[in-house]
Amino acid sequence: MDETFFGDPEYYARWAKAYDAMVGSALYNRIFWGTNPRHYAQFAARAIGSRRGPLLEVAVGTAQATATLHVASSRETTLVDMSAPMLALAGRSIARAAGGTLPDRISLECRDMLAATGNKRYDTILGLGLLHLVPDVPAVVAALGQQLAPNGTMYLGSLVEASSWSNAYLGLLKNHGDIAAARTGAELFDQARAAELGPVRLTRRGAMAYLEIGG
């Protein structure tokens, strides 16, 4: 698979701080998506707490929901994002949460999440707020699966259709080219299953769907 940026790289480069504030805002998430940033952190905590071996968070962005969780964890952790400004903010947040320096067991990699480095395999792969940016879900889930250890589990989040209000906003983002698809939860479930990585479980809170794949 060629190197691919999901979403608008210019947006993340110019508006990293604004994105961070928006995704962490309880008001924004409640009004537009019927969600709360705490839900994102709860899902991430479930992923991070699920095993002890190496963990990969892909498309980590600014680590708004996960910075303190990664500090509290003792897992060897790799955080990947293709946007250097977003990843720099993630690094700063984690260092701040850790009291000033990035813990040695946490590494940041500015790269395409689908371009695996060497033969490294992870027991857990986490990706929040991601699959609505991805045009071909089975291909991306299968490619991420190549970095998953045998019996590992992937935890992936995606906006999906929910209330008429959030559907209208999702449609607007789709028409503007900001997201790849406005899927239903059922469509997302079927597309994740098509990657053939094992059992798929899907839950939804407001317009955010949470997939657990494999394990």
Ligand X SMILES: C[S@@+](CC[C@H](N)C(=O)[O-])C[C@H]1O[C@@H](n2cnc3c(N)ncnc32)[C@H](O)[C@@H]1O
Which residues bind to ligand X, rule: CB under 6 A? 4-7, 12, 23, 58-61, 64, 80-83, 86, 112-114, 128-129, 133
d(CA 162, CA 168): 10
Amino acid at 15: W
| Closest approach of ligand X to the CB of residue 8, in Å | 9
Residue nearest to ligand X (CB): 61
**Beta carbon nearer to ligand X, 80 or 160:** 80
Q: List the one residue out of 25, 75, 70 whose CA is nearest residue 51.
A: 75
**Beta carbon nearer to ligand X, 102 or 113:** 113
| CB-neighbour burial class of residue 25 (10 A; exposed 0-12, middle 13-18, buried 19+) | middle
Q: What is the DSSP track for 23-55?
A: HT-HHHHHHHHS--HHHHHHHHHHHHTS-SS-E
| Closest approach of ligand X to the CB of residue 207, in Å | 14
- C-beta of residue 127 within 8 angstroms of C-beta of residue 157: yes
**Beta carbon nearer to ligand X, 31 or 151:** 31
**Beta carbon nearer to ligand X, 12 or 33:** 12
| Closest approach of ligand X to the CB of residue 35, in Å | 11
- C-beta of residue 41 within 8 angstroms of C-beta of residue 29: no
* Residue labelled with tokens 């690094």: 91
**Beta carbon nearer to ligand X, 100 or 118:** 118
Give Cα 10 distance to the centre of its chain: 19
**Beta carbon nearer to ligand X, 6 or 189:** 6
| Closest approach of ligand X to the CB of residue 64, in Å | 5
| Closest approach of ligand X to the CB of residue 9, in Å | 7
| Closest approach of ligand X to the CB of residue 40, in Å | 6
Tokens at 65, concatenated: 């929901």
